[in-house]
Every structure is written in structure tokens, then in C-alpha cells.
């Protein structure tokens, strides 16, 4: 049945000779065709978009005590090869690679930003090499970037992803498929682990020291392809200034997964190789990740469980980029400065306009600015005291929120605001807030019914990041507490609290 089944299941990219990418209906039809061949494949709807599209989550394998790997594609619907590669992987799992299902459960969300996908036009991402019949847009139907929405959860897509996939299924590994649009380099695909240092150090270390180097080696040996950590030359014309990764903040999915004590791999196919090659490298990368996760599953599950038990006493709230390794050979593509108007003016590169690509790939030794370190830390309290403005958000993340069943006398630490600054430029429809001030203690009596969040729970690190007043990506930053009174406060000392778990937003 395998060969015949594979013959029946062809993606839009394949049937169009890589001139087109799948529409929403094509993806749904492909999933239905897979289900007709294999009755064990289940599909859930994890969210419904603002334009009314049900987002499919395909479930392959159902073994208990087995690792769960989650593959998500098309968060940015101009970056479409993940959507094609994810469908091809699904086909492999019902034909050539059935054995993998006995060893792990694989969840696939092939078309996360479905509304963005349906706006296909040849005018989008024009510096990307194909598909010639066009791609969708970055934003969802609300005009939001879903890869900036993991903390604030303003889109139905992100709320569904977090509640119905990450919280409900608790995948050990999340793989998020993208396409670059930055510097000119010699890698067909680049990748990133969680970058926020508040994530458990063992997760980050295992990815950097074992998982990603092994996958990289396999990509080279077995597929003949160069891959490396995601980054950009700060200046394409002066590459010796270094290779820079992107951002520490958990509004990005790979960083968010790290704060949930789980592994994540961001995958970025290289924009400037053709569409077929991008689909191929992404498809191969998925296979190599699954192979490596299968090999290391027991150890990875132990690390994740240990991270769930860890209780850091302090954690970062402000961060800076740092050199990870000095003198690393990075594959640079030569470029020269063009006369105004002659070169490529790509607004996305950050390389400045008007360069001419040289086409020559050279390994150049430079500093890899690939990590972040906290520049400011804050104490992780025993519990946060919050009000109802935060509750729905916290519950969607899967954080345990409680309500006092009786008044409680506590020593309360409150953030006394010296200055509150809104960003001048709106970002994602927000003018983000930065508070300065200091924590001040007083004795207080909390009323019955007060909401509290103890950090002594597996998602304690995430709760801290959402609730600390100085957090660079928390609910204060995202305008949840615009009048500032009251801000989330802290109970520093372990205090007996008579409370009941809140089950749903009230
Ligand atoms: Zn992207």
C-alpha cells in the first residue's frame, strides 16, 4: 500500500512543479486524503481564526510515556515551505516512516496562520525565490504577528495554540518552521534553540551541546547541506563585526517554549535558494530532528521533568546580547557597495541599502553573538497577588491561579513606580510600557476572593515572566495594567494561604 498511498498523496507544491503553495482548502483536502488511507490519523481543531477558519492539528501516534513532538508551520504565511514540508512529513508517517509512530507522538499544525495564507499574492516577499504564483502575508486576520503574541495572547490562533496544543498536549519539543529574509550567507537553513536565559540551563545546554550539533552533522553528511544557528551579519560589507542572533523575549515561540520547560527548535529556510530547495531542506531537517529526538528521548524527558521541579530564586527581567563563541567560521557571501540605485535595497536585511551580492561563499572567522544574559534580575516570590485583568491570560497559558477562601495577613512587596514610559512607536497595536521604581514591603490583609499565583508550580518561570513589573515581555509591558493600580504584587515568604484553584476565567 505504501507506494500507491504515496502516489495518491501529493502536495500543491508538488503537483504545480513548485510554482504554487497550498491554499487552506488544499491542506484540508490533503489531510482528508491521509485519513482515508490511514484510519489511525486523528485531527483536532485547536483554534478558529477571526475569518472563521478551523485550524487543524493532525495527531500521529498515541503512545503513552512516549515523547510528543509538535511541528508547526506557516505562522508567517509568506514563509510557506514549512507548510509543504509538514504535509510531506505527514505522508511519510503514513507510508515510509510508519515505525516512528510507535516511538513518539507527532502533532502537526501545517497551516497556523490560515487567514494570512489565503491572501496569496505575487507582490509579497518579492526578494524570496519563489513560489512564482505568490505567497500569503505575515499577519493574521487581525493584523497581528502571531510570533509576537505568545505572551499577551490577543489572537484566537495564539490562545488556541497555547491552550489546546502546548498546555493540553505538553509537547516535549516544538518545531516552528520559517524562512529567513536577512543576510546573504552559505546556509540552506538556520535554526535556534530557546534564547531566554530564564529557561532551564539544562534544556539550553542539551540543545546546544548535543541535539543541534548532531542534527547539523547529519544534515551535512547525509544531505550535503550546510546549516547553522540563525543569525545575521550586523553588516554584510563588514562581516568581521559579527554574526547576531535575534531576541531573548518569549513573545517569540522558541523562547516561549523554553519558559515552559520544553525544548524548541526554530527553523529558518534560506530565502535566497529556490522554493523546491527550501521545501526539501526543511523536510530533511524535520526528519533529522525526529531521528535525534528519538535517539535522546529518555534523556530529554528527564531534563524536562527536572526543569518542571526546579525553583529558581531569582530570574532575569532585562537582558543583553552576548558573544557565545569567538572566532567561529561563518559562511559569508561576498558583497560590495553599489552606487545608489544600482544594488539590492532590501528593507529587511538591516544591511543598509545598495549592496551588490558577490555570490562567493567564504568561511570567515568572527564572533557569534548567539546568546543573552540578564542585565537585571528580580526576586521570584512565593506568590504573586494579581487582579482579574490578568486571570484569563494566565489560565490560557495553563498557569495555576488560586483564589483566597479566607482573608490572609501577609507581608506584601509592591512595586513603587518612579517612572512609567510608553514606547513612542506602536508595536503590535501597543505602546509598550517600561516601569522604573523599586519594591517596597508592607504588612497587608488580602481580602477573601483575592487572586494569587504561586510560583511553586511547573510553569512558575512563565508566571514570573508574565507578572514581574520590570519584565521586558510581561503583562505590564503589554498594557494589561494601564492605570498601574494595583500592579501585580509579591508575597516573598512562604505563607500559609487558604485558597481554591480557579478553573476558568470568571
Ligand atoms: Zn518568520
* E strands, 180-285, in order: 189-192, 227-229, 232-233, 243-244, 263-269
pLDDT at 351: 47
Minimal CA–CA distance to 365: which of 335, 323, 337?
323
Ligand 1 centroid – CA 457 distance (Å) = 32
Write the CB contacts of 374 (distance below 8 Å, at least 6 apart in sequence).
Answer: 197, 198, 315, 316, 317, 318, 319
pLDDT-flagged residues of the chain (< 50): 1, 347-351
Q: Report how far residue 129's alpha carbon sits from residue 123's, in angstroms, rounded to the nearest whole number.
A: 12
Ligand 1 centroid – CA 207 distance (Å) = 21
Sign of the Cα pseudo-torsion (121, 58, 301, 249, in order): positive
Ligand 1 centroid – CA 456 distance (Å) = 34
Q: Report how far residue 20's alpha carbon sits from residue 14's, in angstroms, rounded to the nearest whole number.
A: 9
- CB-side neighbour CA atoms (13 Å) of 490: 24
Ligand 1 centroid – CA 264 distance (Å) = 15
Ligand 1 centroid – CA 61 distance (Å) = 28
Dihedral angle, C-alpha 119, 124, 129, 134, nearest 10 °? 30
Q: Report how far residue 180's alpha carbon sits from residue 232's, in angstroms, rounded to the nearest whole number.
A: 10
pLDDT at 343: 62
Ligand 1 centroid – CA 147 distance (Å) = 8
pLDDT at 82: 98
pLDDT at 161: 98
Write the CB contacts of 13 (distance below 8 Å, at least 6 apart in sequence).
Answer: 20, 21, 22, 84, 131, 275, 276, 279
How does strand 402-404 pair with strand 451-454? antiparallel
Ligand 1 centroid – CA 35 distance (Å) = 29
Ligand 1 centroid – CA 105 distance (Å) = 25
Ligand 1 centroid – CA 93 distance (Å) = 26
Ligand 1 centroid – CA 64 distance (Å) = 32
Contact 47, 157 (CB under 8 A): yes
The cell numbers describing 396, all together, are 490560557
Cα angle vertex 477, ends 146, 246, to 5°?
A: 55
Ligand 1 centroid – CA 179 distance (Å) = 6
The cell numbers describing 197, all together, are 536565559
Question: Which 3-state string (H, E, C) describes 108-169?
Answer: EECCCCHHHHCCCECCCCCCCCCCCCCECCCCCCCCCCHHHCCCCCCCHHHHHHHHHHHHHH
Q: Report how far residue 506's alpha carbon sits from residue 88's, in angstroms, rounded to the nearest whole number.
A: 43
Q: Report how far residue 212's alpha carbon sits from residue 195's, in angstroms, rounded to the nearest whole number.
A: 14
pLDDT at 4: 57
Name the one residue in this structure whose C-alpha cell is 514591603.
441
Residue 482 CB coordination number (10 Å):
12
- CB-side neighbour CA atoms (13 Å) of 153: 20
Q: Phi and psi (nearest 5°) for 216? A: -60, -45
Contact 395, 502 (CB under 8 A): yes
Ligand 1 centroid – CA 269 distance (Å) = 10
Ligand 1 centroid – CA 181 distance (Å) = 9
Q: Phi and psi (nearest 5°) for 321? A: -75, 145
pLDDT at 356: 87
- Quick one: the chain helix, strand, coil %, rounded to 5? 30, 30, 40
Q: Report how far residue 405's alpha carbon sits from residue 446's, in angstroms, rounded to the nearest whole number.
A: 11
- Biggest CA pair distance of the chain: 73
Amino acid at each position: 500500500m505504501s507506494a500507491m498511498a504515496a502516489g495518491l498523496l501529493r502536495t500543491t507544491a508538488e503537483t504545480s512543479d513548485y510554482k504554487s503553495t497550498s491554499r487552506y482548502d488544499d491542506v484540508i483536502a490533503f489531510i482528508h486524503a491521509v485519513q482515508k488511507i490511514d484510519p489511525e490519523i486523528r485531527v483536532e481543531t485547536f483554534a478558529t481564526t477571526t475569518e472563521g477558519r478551523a485550524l487543524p492539528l493532525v495527531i500521529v501516534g498515541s503512545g503513552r510515556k512516549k515523547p510528543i513532538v509538535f511541528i508547526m508551520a506557516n505562522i508567517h504565511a509568506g514563509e510557506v515551505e514549512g507548510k509543504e514540508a509538514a504535509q510531506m512529513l505527514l505522508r511519510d508517517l503514513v507510508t515510509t516512516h510508519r515505525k516512528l509512530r510507535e516511538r513518539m507522538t507527532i502533532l502537526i499544525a501545517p497551516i497556523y496562520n490560515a487567514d494570512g495564507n489565503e491572501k496569496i499574492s505575487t507582490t509579497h516577499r518579492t526578494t524570496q525565490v519563489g513560489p512564482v504564483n505568490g505567497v500569503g502575508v505575515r499577519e493574521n486576520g487581525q493584523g497581528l504577528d502571531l510570533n509576537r503574541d505568545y505572551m499577551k495572547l490577543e489572537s484566537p490562533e495564539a490562545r488556541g495554540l497555547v491552550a489546546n496544543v502546548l498546555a493540553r498536549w505538553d509537547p516535549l519539543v516544538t518545531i516552528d518552521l520559517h524562512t529567513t529574509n536577512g543576510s546573504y550567507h552559505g546556509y540552506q537553513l538556520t535554526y535556534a534553540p530557546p534564547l531566554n536565559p530564564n529557561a532551564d540551563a539544562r534544556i539550553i545546554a542539551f540543545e546546544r551541546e548535543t541535539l543541534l550539533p548532531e542534527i547539523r552533522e547529519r544534515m551535512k553528511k547525509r544531505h550535503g547541506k550546510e546549516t547553522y544557528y540563525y543569525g545575521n551579519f550586523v553588516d554584510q560589507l563588514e562581516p568581521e563585526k559579527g554574526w547576531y542572533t535575534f531576541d531573548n523575549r518569549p513573545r517569540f515561540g522558541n523562547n516561549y517554549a523554553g519558559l515552559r520547560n520544553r525544548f524548541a527548535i526554530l527553523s529558518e529556510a534560506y530565502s535566497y535558494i529556490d522554493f523546491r530547495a527550501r521545501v526539501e531542506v526543511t523536510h530533511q531537517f524535520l526528519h533529522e530532528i525526529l531521528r535525534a529526538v528519538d535517539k535522546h528521548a529518555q534523556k530529554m524527558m528527564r531534563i524536562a521533568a527536572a526543569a518542571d521541579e526546579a525553583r529558581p530564586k531569582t530570574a532575569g527581567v532585562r537582558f543583553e546580547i552576548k558573544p557565545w563563541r569567538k572566532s567561529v567560521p561563518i559562511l559569508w557571501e561576498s558583497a560590495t557597495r553599489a552606487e545608489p540605485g544600482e544594488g539590492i535595497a532590501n528593507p529587511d536585511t538591516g544591511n543598509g541599502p545598495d549592496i551588490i551580492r558577490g555570490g562567493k561563499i567564504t568561511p570567515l572567522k568572527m564572533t557569534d553573538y548567539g546568546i543573552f544574559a540578564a542585565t537585571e534580575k528580580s526576586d521570584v516570590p512565593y506568590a504573586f497577588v494579581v487582579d482579574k485583568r490578568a486571570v484569563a491570560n494566565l489560565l490560557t497559558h495553563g498557569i495555576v491561579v488560586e483564589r483566597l477562601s479566607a482573608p490572609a495577613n501577609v507581608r506584601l512587596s509592591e512595586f513603587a513606580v518612579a517612572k512609567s514610559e510608553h514606547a513612542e512607536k506602536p508595536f503590535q497595536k501597543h505602546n509598550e510600557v517600561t516601569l522604573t521604581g523599586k519594591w517596597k514591603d508592607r504588612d497587608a490583609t488580602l481580602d477573601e476572593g483575592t487572586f494569587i499565583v504561586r510560583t511553586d508550580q511547573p510553569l512558575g518561570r512563565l508566571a514570573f515572566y508574565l507578572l514581574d513589573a520590570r519584565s521586558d515581555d510581561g503583562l505590564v509591558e503589554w498594557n494589561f495594567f494601564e492605570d498601574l493600580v494595583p500592579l501585580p504584587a509579591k508575597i516573598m515568604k512562604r505563607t500559609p494561604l487558604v485558597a481554591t484553584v480557579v478553573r476558568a476565567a470568571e
